[in-house]
Amino acid sequence: MSTTPKALYRDEGVVLRTQKLGEADRIVTVLTRRHGKVRAVAKGVRRTKSKFGARLEPFSHVDLQLYTGRTLDIVSQAESIRSYGSVIAGDYPAYTAGTAVLETADRLTAEEKEPSLRLFLLVIGALRALSESTHPAGLVLDAFLLRAMSVAGWEPALGDCARCGIEGPHRHFSVPAGGTVCRECRPTGSAMPNPVTIGHLEALLSGDWATAEASESGQRREGSGLVAALLQWHLERGLRSLPLVDRSDAVPRRDVGLLREA
């Protein structure tokens, strides 16, 4: 066992996903506050008397002690800080939105152990909002996705032209260009969303919840479609969880497909 004090480290994190390993172990993927995304082995967690098995489920915010292994690190201790899972799992829209939050966080951290404090804080904020029903789940998800794209360096243009930077507002919106585009720059096939929808997305990005919550379902639906299309454009493969998000208060799913083709 390589439990030298040197190799031990401690951090807090949110469990993004788990995979079975062998008979009794599990690989947990955790987005930590200081060490970025960490994949670690939790030994014996699938045995019924495991002390920390239940603490290492998706949506759990945990305080971890780990030691560095040859390929994967090993979890030696896990204390629960807050478990969002049970509350979120009992609310279908919150659960599907939360699952998309976790998958997005996983996909945006391609490199392991690359610190991403801002993303960590966004994930914690989104899970807290979903578990406390602070805002409608669909809006929490779209606000998270817009901000997570910004953290990743893909902040969409929602006013000025995404290509030449000329001051907006502009009527055209191009997913490949990265947002609103002026008349001169607009590529063929650009969409023309309702200007109110762009204002709605700006409100979600900046945290103006009063404006975001005053939006009508048509704008929410159109906004969700644009956000999903932007995210799918940036990610190499689409998110598995995004088409499953329950937007019963807002979105017919086919809009997403339509926008991707736009």
Q: Where along the sequence are the contacts to Zn ion (CB under 5 A)?
A: 161, 163-164, 182, 185
Q: Among residues 23 and 184, whose Cβ is nearest to Zn ion?
A: 184
Q: How many CB atoms lie within 10 A of CB 249?
A: 13
Cβ at position 172, least distance to Zn ion in Å: 9
For residues 126 and 145, give the distance between their C-alpha atoms in angstroms, rounded to a whole number: 10
Strands 73-83 and 60-67: antiparallel
Q: Specify which residues 78 forms β-bridges with.
A: 64
* The residue type at 110: A
CB of 181 to Zn ion, least distance (A): 6
Phi, psi of 237 (to 5 degrees): -115, 150
Q: What angle do CA 111, 147, 11 make, to 5 degrees?
A: 45
If the CB atoms of residues 164 and 196 are measured against Zn ion, the closer one turns out to be 164
The least distance separating Zn ion from the CB of residue 12, rounded to whole angstroms, comes to 44
User: Which is closer to Zn ion, CB of 161 or CB of 212?
Assistant: 161
Query: Under 8 Å CB-to-CB from 224, ≥6 apart: which residues?
Result: 138, 142, 247, 250, 251, 255, 256
Judged by CB, which is closer to Zn ion: 23, or 167?
167
- Shortest spacing between CB 4 and Zn ion, in angstroms: 57
- Beta strand pairing status for 25-32 and 37-42? antiparallel
φ, ψ at 255 (rounded to 5°): -60, -35
Q: Give the type of residue at 224.
A: S
In the complex, what is the shortest distance from the CB of residue 156 to Zn ion, in angstroms, rounded to a whole number?
15
Which is closer to Zn ion, CB of 163 or CB of 220? 163
Could you tell me the smallest distance in angstroms from the CB atom of residue 88 to Zn ion?
Answer: 41
Q: Phi first, then psi: what are they for 181, rounded to 5°? A: -135, 150
Q: Which is nearer to Zn ion, 102 or 181 (CB)?
A: 181
Residue where the block lists tokens 């969303």? 193
